[in-house]
Amino acid sequence: MLKIYGIKNCSSMKKAFDLLNELGLAYQFYDYKKQAPERETIKAWLDAKGQDVILNKKGTTWRKLSEQEQQHALSSEDNLIETLITHTSLIKRPVLATQQGYIVGFDEAAYRELV
């Protein structure tokens, strides 16, 4: 079964849910706002995709962090993981865990390839 991580009230998440349902793909949803992803889960995402894919620097959450907070987050993987757990809105969404790996962000073509 697929696992999808994100925030329920997000336009990208809505597109992802709609397409997964259309394709008849079963999934479990993990809401960042109700429970932050585990440290090991975030580490696996970073190992597989890298910080540039996982960390959303374009959103308001990143811009609201002070320069010191941003530098601290980027200074080590452990600090980045802690920052992502504390500020889950910094994680790009959705993150879809599949048998083949992770799809980060809504990618209709990649989703369709899962069928």
What pLDDT is attached to residue 106? 97
Question: What is the C-alpha separation between 83 and 97, in angstroms, rounded?
Answer: 21
DSSP 7-54: -TT-HHHHHHHHHHHHHT--EEEEETTTSPPPHHHHHHHHHHH-HHHH
Radius of gyration for the alpha carbons in the chain, expressed in angstroms and rounded: 14
Give per-residue pLDDT as tens, 58-115: 999 999 999 999 999 999 999 999 999 999 999 999 999 999 999 999 999 999 999 9
- Residue 34 binned pLDDT confidence (cut-offs 50, 70, 90): very high
User: What is residue 112's three-state secondary structure?
Assistant: helix
Model confidence pTM above 0.75: yes
Q: How many residues does this entry show for the chain? A: 115
CATH of domain 2-112: 3.40.30.10
Q: Domain map of the chain by residue range? A: 2-112
